[in-house]
C-alpha cells in the first residue's frame, strides 16, 4: 500500500510540474515552435506519458524496497499450511513411579520423554508446529506452536510441571479438552493429537468432542500394565483397557509404548514433506522490475523525442538559392560581411 500511495504522490507532483511547464511554453510558443506557435500533435500526450512513467518508476522502486528478499525463507510455508502436533502429557505423581521401559528401570515420565523425543526426531520439524499441554488435576498449555525441538525437549525433561497444579486426582479428560480447545482455530485435518499417560484414574465417560482440525488421535500408554506400584492408597499401573477405551471414544488408536516406540506408519501425516509455497504476492517482484525498466526508458527517451520531433519548425537559417540552385557569390560576400562586420575587398 505504501508503494501505491507513493506512486500517486509522485504522479501528482509530476502533473503540477507539467502544468507549470506548459504555461511557460505558451508564453514563448512562437520562439519555441516557430511562426505557427504549435508543436506536433503527438506532444499532447507527453505530459501524461511523463506522469505515468514517474509513477511507475516510483511504485517499482518502493515495491523492491519493501518486498522481502528471496533469500529469506521465513514466509515459505508448506502447501496447505503448517501441520500441528499437540501433545497432552500426564505429569501426575504416578508418572514418577519406576516401572517403565523395556527393563522396567525407568520412571514413566522418563519413558514418556523417550517416546515423544523419538517421535519428534522422525517428523518434518520444519513443516510441523509443536504444542504441549500438561495435565494433572487441571490442564495448562506449556508450549504453543513451536518449531524448536530444544524447547519441546526442555519442557519434557527439565521442567517440574507437576508443581503448577493442586494435589488431587488426575484429570486426563481435561487435558484432552484443553488440547482440543488449542487446536480448534487451525485448519481442518491439520493436527495430530498425542496423549501420553499411564491411564490411572480415567472416568468411564465424558470424552470431549474433537474439533475438525484434529484428524487423528493417538493414545500412548507408559508403565507396566501387569504389575503395579503402590501410590495414594491404590495400586497404580498402566490401565491398557481404559486407554484403549479412550482411544475408541476419540476415534483414535492406542499403542503400548512402555517397551516399544510409536511405529512410523502412525506418523505418516507428520513425517511427509510437502512442497513449500510462497505466501508473498506472486509476480510482485517481476512486475516491479518491469515498472522500473519501462518508467526509466520513457523518462530518458521523452526529452530526446521532444527535441527531435516535437515541432515542425527547426532552428537555423538557410541561404536563398539562385535559379540554377547555387548560391550567388555576392550573397555569400554580403552574408560574410554581415557576420564579420568588415567590407570585402574585390578580387584582382
C-alpha–C-alpha distance, residues 223 and 198, integer Å: 6
With a cut of 50, which residues of the chain have pLDDT below it? 71-72, 74, 279, 330-348
pLDDT digits (tens, 9 = 90+) for 120-144: 888 877 788 899 999 999 999 999 9
Q: Specify the pairing of strand 128-135 against strand 139-146.
A: antiparallel
Predicted TM-score of the model (pTM): 0.57
Quote the pLDDT of residue 52.
Answer: 93
* CB contact set of 68 (below 8 Å; sequence gap of 6+): 74, 75, 280
Q: Which sequence spans correspond to the domains of the chain?
A: 2-67+282-314, 77-277
Which string of DSSP letters, residue by residue, matches 293-314? HHHHHHHHHHHHHHHHHS-S--
Quote the pLDDT of residue 77.
Answer: 62
DSSP lists the bridge partners of residue 67 as none
Q: Specify the pairing of strand 253-256 against strand 214-221.
A: parallel
Quote the pLDDT of residue 76.
Answer: 60
pLDDT digits (tens, 9 = 90+) for 27-85: 888 777 777 778 888 888 889 999 999 999 999 999 988 886 654 454 566 666 788 99
* CB contact set of 138 (below 8 Å; sequence gap of 6+): 165, 166, 171, 174
Quote the pLDDT of residue 300.
Answer: 92
Joined grid coordinates for residue 239: 490401565
At residue 191, the 3 state secondary structure works out as strand
Report the chain's terminal Cα–Cα distance, integer Å. Answer: 83
Quote the pLDDT of residue 162.
Answer: 85
Find where cell 513449500 sits: 276
According to CATH, the topology of domain 77-277 is Rossmann fold (3.40.50)
Quote the pLDDT of residue 314.
Answer: 66
Amino acid at each position: 500500500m505504501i508503494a501505491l500511495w507513493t506512486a500517486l504522490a509522485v504522479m501528482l507532483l509530476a502533473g503540477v510540474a507539467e502544468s507549470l511547464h506548459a504555461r511557460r511554453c505558451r508564453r514563448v510558443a512562437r520562439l519555441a515552435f516557430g511562426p505557427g506557435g504549435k508543436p506536433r500533435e503527438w506532444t499532447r500526450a507527453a505530459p501524461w506519458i511523463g506522469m505515468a512513467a514517474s509513477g511507475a518508476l516510483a511504485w517499482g522502486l518502493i515495491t523492491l524496497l519493501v518486498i522481502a528478499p528471496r533469500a529469506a525463507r521465513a514466509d515459505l510455508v508448506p502447501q496447505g499450511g503448517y501441520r500441528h502436533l499437540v501433545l497432552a502429557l500426564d505429569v501426575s505423581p504416578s508418572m514418577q513411579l519406576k516401572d517403565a521401559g523395556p527393563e522396567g528401570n525407568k520412571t514413566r515420565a522418563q519413558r514418556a520423554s523417550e517416546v515423544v523425543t523419538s517421535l519428534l526426531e522422525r517428523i518434518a520439524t520444519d513443516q510441523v508446529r509443536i504444542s504441549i499441554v500438561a495435565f494433572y488435576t487441571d490442564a495448562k498449555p506449556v508450549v504453543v506452536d513451536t518449531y524448536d525441538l530444544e524447547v519441546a525437549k526442555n519442557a519434557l525433561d527439565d521442567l517440574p510441571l507437576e508443581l503448577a497444579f493442586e494435589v488431587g486426582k488426575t484429570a486426563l479428560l481435561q487435558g484432552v479438552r484443553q488440547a482440543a480447545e488449542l487446536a480448534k482455530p487451525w485448519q481442518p485435518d491439520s493436527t495430530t493429537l498425542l496423549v501420553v499417560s499411564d491411564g490411572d484414574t480415567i472416568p468411564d465417560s465424558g470424552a470431549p468432542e474433537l474439533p475438525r482440525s484434529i484428524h487423528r488421535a493417538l493414545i500412548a500408554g507408559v508403565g507396566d500394565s501387569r504389575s503395579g506400584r503402590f501410590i495414594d492408597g491404590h495400586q497404580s499401573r498402566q490401565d491398557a483397557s481404559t486407554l484403549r477405551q479412550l482411544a475408541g471414544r476419540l476415534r483414535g488408536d492406542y499403542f503400548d509404548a512402555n517397551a516399544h516406540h510409536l511405529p512410523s506408519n502412525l506418523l505418516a501425516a507428520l513425517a511427509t514433506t510437502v512442497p513449500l509455497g510462497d505466501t508473498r504476492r506472486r509476480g510482485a517482484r517481476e512486475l516491479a522490475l518491469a515498472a522500473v525498466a519501462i518508467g526509466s526508458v520513457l523518462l530518458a527517451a521523452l526529452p530526446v523525442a521532444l527535441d527531435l520531433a516535437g515541432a515542425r519548425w527547426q532552428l537555423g537559417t538557410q541561404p536563398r538559392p539562385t535559379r540554377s540552385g547555387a548560391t550567388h557569390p555576392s550573397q555569400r560576400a554580403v552574408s560574410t560581411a554581415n557576420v564579420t562586420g568588415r567590407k570585402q575587398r574585390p578580387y584582382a
